[in-house]
Amino acid sequence: MDEKDRILLQLLEENCRTPISELAVLAEVSEQDAKDRISRLEAAGAIRRYGAVIDWEQAGNGNVAAVIELKVSPERDFGYDRIAERISRFPQVRSLRLMTGAYDLQLLVTGPSMHEIARFVAEQIAPMDRIRETATHITMKTYKENGTTFAEREGVERLPYSF
């Protein structure tokens, strides 16, 4: 992957609906070269899929989101991979990451209510082999998602100056 590929990936990540003609200009390649590069990146798996960043609160969806942190006992010869693969199969799990710090895995989970998320964690996640501890953090408000700011304010708010 070269610098032109990286530029195209950054542009697509920012807005996957950018016309190919604009992508080509911004990456300083021909339109055909941009198409070929994008096709190659898709085939290689660097581009996994295209999507939209949705402000579900604005759209009127009543779903609740939560970050679930897990302490996990790694499995000999497989580390965290097998448990992560099992957890990733649940449709409630939107993201799953291996992390440094106090917890090993971090999940972003969505559900129709806090009660449903709590039930999902208690009945599906916590009882799994190798899960030692869970911590659930309910998302109260999203200000920025995947580089897109949701809470835009008109004008600049200045903080009062005092001694």
Residue range 4-36, pLDDT digits in tens? 999 999 999 999 999 999 999 999 999 999 999
Mark 28-60 as b/e (b = at least 16 C-beta within 10 Å): ebeeeebeebbeebeeeeebeeeeeeeeeeeee
Tokens of 120: 């999902």
pLDDT band at 61 (very low <50, low <70, confident <90, very high): confident
Give the pLDDT mean for 65-78.
95
- Categorize the per-residue pLDDT at 113 as very low, low, confident or very high, splitting at 50, 70 and 90: very high
Measured at the alpha carbon of residue 142, what is the angle toward residues 103 and 161, in degrees to the nearest 5?
100
pLDDT score for 156 = 58
Dihedral sign, Cα of residue 41, residue 42, residue 43, residue 45:
positive
The domains of the chain, with CATH numbers, are 3-44 (1.10.10.10), 56-145 (3.30.70.920)
The arithmetic mean of pLDDT across residues 143-151, rounded, is 84
For the stretch 40-59, pLDDT in tens is 999 999 999 998 887 777 78
Amino acid letter, 63: N
What is the value of pTM for the model shown?
0.77
Determine the pLDDT at residue 63. 87
What pLDDT, on the 0 to 100 scale, is given for residue 145?
Answer: 86
Q: Can you give the pLDDT at residue 33? A: 96
